[in-house]
Amino acid sequence: MLVSAKESQAQASVYGEGTANYLNNGPYTDFLSGGVAGVLVNITEAWHERITISADVQGNFALSGTEPTGYSSDETYDAITLGPRFSLTPHFFKLAPYVQFNAGFGRYHDPKVHSATDNVFGVQGGVTRRLTSRLDAVLDYSYSRFGYNANYYNPQTFSIGAVYHFSRR
């Protein structure tokens, strides 16, 4: 008997993206390739239902490729973060810009010289475009600080991928 007419706010989505990670201030200061996967849960809406506030749990997994000489440095950078995401309601060309704050733990590994597991935090910005009632395309950029003094490495990630929403919008 006590059924709400308002649609549930806690809607879940999953996403996957291909990435290029630039390890600024890293030992080799090079690009690593990999992927980002995550779960996004919409918590509430604000400002006349124009801003959606969500919680995001994200995994970033990247490794170095083989150089033209055939030599591979076997670098890896993995991070698990969570944080809030603030996104605007799709409007112009079905685009929805967003900004997200991340905090968690990361691991950098280079079998020759360096390995470190430490905190990571950063900011991410991007845009999604609605393709269907359940599928969006996503493009984003993130800048992070990794290390004890928050100045050890500065991973920058450029990503493109898709978001699948479990409920229709």
CATH number of 24's domain = 2.40.160.20
Q: Which residues contact 112 (CB under 8 A, 6 or more apart)?
A: 73
Q: Is 93 helix (H, G, I), strand (E, B) or coil?
A: helix
Give a yes or no: residue 89 inside a domain.
Answer: no
pLDDT digits (tens, 9 = 90+) for 80-98: 999 999 999 887 888 999 9
Give a yes or no: residue 6 inside a domain.
Answer: no
Give a yes or no: residue 3 inside a domain.
Answer: no
Give a yes or no: residue 5 inside a domain.
Answer: no
Give a yes or no: residue 65 inside a domain.
Answer: yes
Q: Count how many domains the chain has.
A: 1
Q: Which residues contact 124 (CB under 8 A, 6 or more apart)?
A: 99, 100, 101, 102, 140, 141, 142, 143, 157
pLDDT digits (tens, 9 = 90+) for 105-125: 999 887 777 788 889 999 999
**CA–CA separation, 28 and 127 (whole Å):** 30
